[in-house]
Structure 1
Amino acid sequence: MIDGAAIPAWPAVGSIAAGVGTLALIRYLARHRGKPGAGWFLATLLAQATWCFAYGVSLFTFDPVVRRLLESLVWFGIVWTGVTFLAFALEYTGRGHVIRSRLFAPFAAVAAITTLLAITNPLHGLLWTDFALDPAFGAATVSYALQPWAYFAVGVATVAVASAVFLLVDTLVDYGPLYRREAAAVATSALPPGFALLAWTAGVGPVPQLNLAPVLFIPHIVLDAYAFGRAEMFERDPTALRAAERTAIDDLADPIAVVDTDRRVVRVNAAARDAFALGDDEAVRLTPLATALPFDLDLTDPDPVDVRSADGRRTYAVSVSPLSDPAGTPVGHTVVFSDVTERERRRQQLEVLNRVLRHNLRNDMGVVHGYAELLAEELDDDHHHRMADAIERRSGALLALGEKARTVETLLAGEEATPLALGALVERVVADCREEFPDATVELTVRDDPTAPFPETTVAAAVENLIENALRHHDDAGVERPNGGAWTRVTVAREGDEAVVRVADDGPGIPEGELDAIEAGRETALQHGSGLGLWIVHWAAAAVGAETDFADREPRGTVATIRLPLGDAWTASASAAASTVERETASETAGE
């Protein structure tokens, strides 16, 4: 019964006010049902409201029977508030699968058993004994002796809340400012009622029979209202980031292993298990990487590794990246194995092709070219003389192709950049071209002479092949020389943060099909270039991060421009050249 003479006590009023605030928050958040964690948080608020209303009303109730029943509802709120709050934190932070696992089941079991024991406590006294009214501040507070299971139940609820707080703080640390305000508010909100519950359980304080946890749900509600209202906690979804972290490694086609600082396996993805015949994560976890893998691997300076599998022999390039925690402390390494079998096979094919062109073709064509020269000198008949001259010219062209193959091999191998004056480099290239084409006119203008770490052979190959292309394919119908002969002008200048080399000619222009083939990155039956020259220009420029451009020249001819960025771009690793050449020479070879 309610004692009508009693003056409403502030603990009772505060508890009921907390219950009303909780119901208001439930009504506001009901629109978020279906969002990750929202259902469990609503369940937490229902358990919290039950706790607050039951305790608030019980403080007005001096009837022992009704008071015991209300105390049972208080215990329902105590245990289920903690368990549902943990479930909320798990689902909200992207760990919802744990709720359906064996790890979560004990929490739910303890809550269910405690609820049953609270309702039936008068029959067995397993939760408390010596229940008696012990009024304070005009409220119907009670005193009773807690039994071991009661302490255990409060301990489990506390662990559940502490675990939830840890998960939310972990989200704060992992995702930075994106969820900082929300996670901090919700994590902090659990502290006031949590400490009050522990103090009541331990029987400390000036009024040990008074449980202030329901009253202290008021600041809890204020913080929750901020997080879910102004900060729109359910409008943001950390589960997407958590899912991305969990699936990113597994979804990658490359084998990946994560190791700790002792180089023991922490995790491998499905691709690694398939490629290296590893067991599941549990089978290899904390196994030394050297023991788990079927080959030796030096993480300090890893070399490519060969692995035999059901698909044959595969080659993997190995890259190792350090892992650090949010504080910057090293915690391990990520080891990525990139399947480069086809690339290595293509590299071997290109090396063989280059060897054939450089040695067999050069030697045999050298013999043919020599005999053709002798034959042309000895033949008197004009018809046969023209035939011998054609043989000489064609064999010379094939010899030149062999030399270009040597250049391609240089690009494949890569080249270190060394400090070099661009103007001086181009001047040497022009001198070589003048010697090779003595009947042509090659003009050179060096307006500026930028000095930078240039990969000499690579840059020289690009400029040389542009000049050769202009002179070799000239049709003797030019406009710059009186006789219409081959002519080209090479200009070196600095334009802003770029070194620019322009090669202008007055020839027939570059066929559109050749430029289309290079722009497409491969040759086809309908886009077949006449040689390797423009491809070498393209590959060499790509190797150093340069841009190439071809424009029509008035009244006739072409202007080819190479823009070489000055500064850090020149320090690009030689591997860029190799990868570019490998990819595009493979396409060109496929087009043949």
Structure 2
Amino acid sequence: MVLSPLAVVLLSGVVGMGVAFLVWLHRDRPGAGPLAVFVVAASLWAVAYGIELAASGVPTMERLVQIQLTLSVIIPIAWLVTVIEYTGHPHWLTRFRTVLLLVEPAVFVTLVWSNQAHRLIWSGSGTQYISASSVTLVPAYQVAYWGHLAYILLLILTGSVLLLRMLFRSNTVFQGQGIALLLAIAVPTVIHKLFLFGVLPMAFDPTSLGYVMSGVVLSVAILRGQLLDVAPVTRELGREAIFTELDDQVIIVDDECRIVDINAAAAALLDGDQDSLLGRPLQGELSQLAETVPSPGERTQTETTLEHDGGVRYYDVRVTPLYRAYGVVSGHLISLRDITDRRQREQRLDVLNRLLRHDIRNEMNVVKGNADLLRDSADADERERLDRIIRTVDDIVDRSNKIGRVTEALETEQHSPTPLRKLLDTVISEARERNPDATITLTSEADLWIQGGPSVLIALEELVENAVEHRAAPEDPVEVEITATRTDGTPGIRVAVHDNGPGIADHEREVIRSETETPLKHGSGVGLWLVNWIVRNLGGRMSFPDTDGPGTTVELQLPAADPATDEPAPADESAPADDPTATNRSENAD
């Protein structure tokens, strides 16, 4: 069935202008402007051809052909500019290049509208009936037209290369968008060229229908493929900004370890200009760094020292291979991070840790031993002072031992499913032996398992011990309530320790929440710090929920685990044998 001129005009105009409207809605996106020009020009071309089919008289038909040829000049240029902006290379379109791009189209349009004087576009024309009411002009195209056709194909080929290059480097979303842009120009171009060379044995030029198909493809890409919402130019600009503005030093070398790209931070490290360093061997610029580049295809991470500004700096070096087609290594990306400050902090911490865990502890033992000797020969008043010295020394040594246990546990322990009730029973039993006058109550759901290690026991001991030791007045009874339940909504275990003591000061809570201490804002001890470190190492968190009555509640959120198959569930020692409930209670009254 041959479409009538009116059908061609209606279908092409509606579809083309509809797509143009969709593009206009995204006019602030990269490539939206030239893409709108492309769609409008293609639609008007189809409309002009439809009017030609309905027109009568050769002069009118020739004017419509001139309009179509003029519009055909706009389409490939607009499409190429769309691709250039879409793929993130708008800087290519300098004023000089834009003028060169428009020289041939301007000459061609001038020749089209002056064809009667020179006949370089077409030398003669005839008419051919498509249907009883439709006649089309059949020009005899000359050399200027075929030269322009070659120029159009060159523009389309250039844009296609840019798109194909992007397709091989992009993910699925951008690949779909690139294919849509390729089809938008390829479909009508192929149809038009097949018609010109007589491959399609028909009098009706189907190019207009090709642009209708392109409009459909672009519509789908805009509505479903986020053609103008998520464009690769944004990603490319982001990558370029990261590379140029990153504080870390980044160097890209080829397969012969020559510098092919370098950011400003790395250029400063090499004491050179970015442009002047390109093409130079890395071995000649920084031999220590060149030695870190592995064999092709290997990925490495190491530390090295480099001299810069008259001093030695430590760097974490990561070398990543860069692959081209078929898995061939084309070079390596070298990134350096200055870790000098971190190394110095680690060294200071190691020294302080050794002093705290060994030297100070040994010296405190010497102080305690001499205090014990003096105590035997001292009078009552001096003995009391010496007892205070001994208690202080014991506290320092205990704190040092505690920090040592936590540090070792955090560095070496392996997390595994652990029965929580078993840990709580151990902590409560030891706390009762040390504080027989304390009332400790445990409420626990049955069969609670956490993902942890020995350090959890230290954290629970610290919380319970703090709750027992801190009371409002020496004569006040100590009441500690421990609750262990499953959290709502998320797979975790909640352990709450509540006491009736004086409470934790607000500034101490804030120190733990902010995870930093300053000379004007610090905690009075390390107990809560140790608990917080342990819980964070497990992937949990510690909080201080508000309570209605006196005292303090410290709450731990711990990761839950599936029960281990080789360890039985903890027995309920306090619940009656015939009570199948899931709540276990253990209490020691005054």
Using structure 2 for the length normalisation, give the TM-score: 0.70
Q: How does 1:272-287 map to 2 (within 5 A)?
A: 272-274=266-268, 280=274
- 2:38 maps to 1:44: yes
Aligned partner of 1:393 in structure 2 is 391
Q: How does 1:179-190 map to 2 (within 5 A)?
A: 188-190=183-185
Report the count of equivalent residues. Answer: 541
Q: Offset of 1:83 from its aligned partner?
A: 1.4
- 2:192 maps to 1:197: yes
Aligned partner of 1:495 in structure 2 is 486
Provide, for residues 357-393 of structure 1, a one-character-per-residue CA deviation record: whole Å limited to 9, x for no partner: 222211221111111011112112x222222222222
Aligned partner of 2:136 in structure 1 is 139
CA 1:539/1:375 → structure 2, altered by over 3 Å: closer, same or farther? same
Residue 82 of structure 1 aligns to a residue in which SS? helix
- 2:536 maps to 1:542: yes
C-alpha distance in structure 2 between counterparts of 1:552 and 1:12, whole Å: 79
Residue 371 of structure 2 aligns to a residue in which SS? helix
196-205 or 236-245, larger mean C-alpha shift: 236-245
- 2:216 maps to 1:223: yes
CA 1:261/1:416 → structure 2, altered by over 3 Å: closer, same or farther? farther
Q: Is the CA contact 2:517–2:523 (under 8 Å) kept in the aligned structure 1?
A: yes
Aligned partner of 1:581 in structure 2 is none
| Equivalent of 1:296 in 286, 292, 295 | 292
**Structure 1 spans left out of the alignment, 5+ residues:** 1-8, 481-486, 571-592
Using structure 1 for the length normalisation, give the TM-score: 0.70
CA 1:411/1:258 → structure 2, altered by over 3 Å: closer, same or farther? farther
| Equivalent of 2:105 in 88, 106, 111 | 111
Provide, for residues 417-456 of structure 1, a one-character-per-residue CA deviation record: whole Å limited to 9, x for no partner: 2454444445555666678x47775868595564554221
Aligned partner of 2:463 in structure 1 is 466
C-alpha distance in structure 1 between counterparts of 2:523 and 2:305, whole Å: 37
| Equivalent of 2:408 in 407, 410, 419 | 410
- 2:75 maps to 1:81: yes
| Paired amino acid for 1:309 | H
Q: Offset of 1:302 from its aligned partner?
A: 2.0
Aligned partner of 1:357 in structure 2 is 356
Q: How does 1:363-512 map to 2 (within 5 A)?
A: 363-380=362-379, 382-407=380-405, 409-410=407-408, 413=411, 415-426=413-424, 437=434, 447=444, 448=446, 450-456=448-454, 458-473=455-470, 477-480=474-477, 491=482, 493-495=484-486, 497-503=491-497, 505=499, 507-512=501-506
Provide, for residues 494-529 of structure 1, a one-character-per-residue CA deviation record: whole Å limited to 9, x for no partner: 535544555455544433432232223223445432
| Paired amino acid for 2:537 | A
Q: Is the CA contact 1:78–1:157 (under 8 Å) kept in the aligned structure 2?
A: no
Q: Is the CA contact 1:427–1:444 (under 8 Å) kept in the aligned structure 2?
A: no
Q: Is the CA contact 1:490–1:504 (under 8 Å) kept in the aligned structure 2?
A: yes
Residue 136 of structure 1 aligns to a residue in which SS? strand
Q: Is the CA contact 2:185–2:214 (under 8 Å) kept in the aligned structure 1?
A: no
Provide, for residues 34-86 of structure 1, a one-character-per-residue CA deviation record: whole Å limited to 9, x for no partner: 534343234435654675577665985546xx987776655443333211222
C-alpha distance in structure 2 between counterparts of 1:17 and 1:259, whole Å: 57
Residue 369 of structure 1 aligns to a residue in which SS? helix
- 2:507 maps to 1:513: yes
C-alpha distance in structure 1 between counterparts of 2:406 and 2:189, whole Å: 72
Provide, for residues 193-241 of structure 1, a one-character-per-residue CA deviation record: whole Å limited to 9, x for no partner: 312321244343435xx68255435625753894699779897463555
CA 1:71/1:417 → structure 2, altered by over 3 Å: closer, same or farther? same
C-alpha distance in structure 2 between counterparts of 1:43 and 1:204, whole Å: 30
Residue 522 of structure 1 aligns to a residue in which SS? coil
45-54 or 353-362, larger mean C-alpha shift: 45-54
| Paired amino acid for 1:366 | N
C-alpha distance in structure 1 between counterparts of 2:195 and 2:323, whole Å: 42
What RMSD in Å do the two structures reach over aligned CA positions?
5.3
| Paired amino acid for 1:91 | E
Residue 303 of structure 1 aligns to a residue in which SS? strand
C-alpha distance in structure 2 between counterparts of 1:30 and 1:14, whole Å: 24
Aligned partner of 1:532 in structure 2 is 526
Residue 83 of structure 2 aligns to a residue in which SS? helix
Provide, for residues 263-312 of structure 1, a one-character-per-residue CA deviation record: whole Å limited to 9, x for no partner: 99886654455456687499669999998945515664523444443395
Q: Is the CA contact 1:321–1:335 (under 8 Å) kept in the aligned structure 2?
A: yes
C-alpha distance in structure 1 between counterparts of 2:370 and 2:117, whole Å: 119
388-397 or 504-513, larger mean C-alpha shift: 504-513
C-alpha distance in structure 2 between counterparts of 1:566 and 1:360, whole Å: 39
Aligned partner of 2:28 in structure 1 is 35
CA 1:516/1:105 → structure 2, altered by over 3 Å: closer, same or farther? same
| Paired amino acid for 1:546 | G
Q: Is the CA contact 1:421–1:449 (under 8 Å) kept in the aligned structure 2?
A: yes
Residue 355 of structure 1 aligns to a residue in which SS? helix
551-560 or 396-405, larger mean C-alpha shift: 551-560
Residue 534 of structure 2 aligns to a residue in which SS? helix
C-alpha distance in structure 2 between counterparts of 1:530 and 1:473, whole Å: 13
Aligned partner of 1:206 in structure 2 is 201
Q: Percent identity?
A: 23
Residue 477 of structure 1 aligns to a residue in which SS? coil
**Structure 2 spans left out of the alignment, 5+ residues:** 130-134, 565-590
| Paired amino acid for 2:212 | P
Aligned partner of 2:570 in structure 1 is none
